[in-house]
Amino acid sequence: MKCPECGTEVAPGDVFCGNCGSMVLPEESAAPRHHSFLPPRPRPIEAARR
């Protein structure tokens, strides 16, 4: 992985670049992430009115 600011090679798991000190974000995995969506639960008073 490379630092987005200076291009220095950064070790996996590092949070900051050892050369320039910039924060390094972990690379996204190749597998797509699926986020499940749960609708908001009704508040107790709303449920009682139904």
Q: Would you list the domain boundaries of the chain?
A: 1-26
Model confidence pLDDT, tens digit, residues 28-38: 544 455 556 77
Buried b (16+ CB within 10 A) or exposed e, 2-37: ebeeeeeebeeeeeebeeeeeebeeeeeeeeeeeee
Q: What is the pLDDT of residue 2?
A: 92
Q: What is the pLDDT of residue 23?
A: 93
Neighbours of 43 (CB within 10 A): 8
Model confidence pLDDT, tens digit, residues 2-30: 999 999 999 988 999 999 999 998 765 44
**Its pTM surpasses 0.85:** no
Q: What is the pLDDT of residue 26?
A: 74
Is pLDDT at 46 greater than 70 in this prediction?
Answer: no
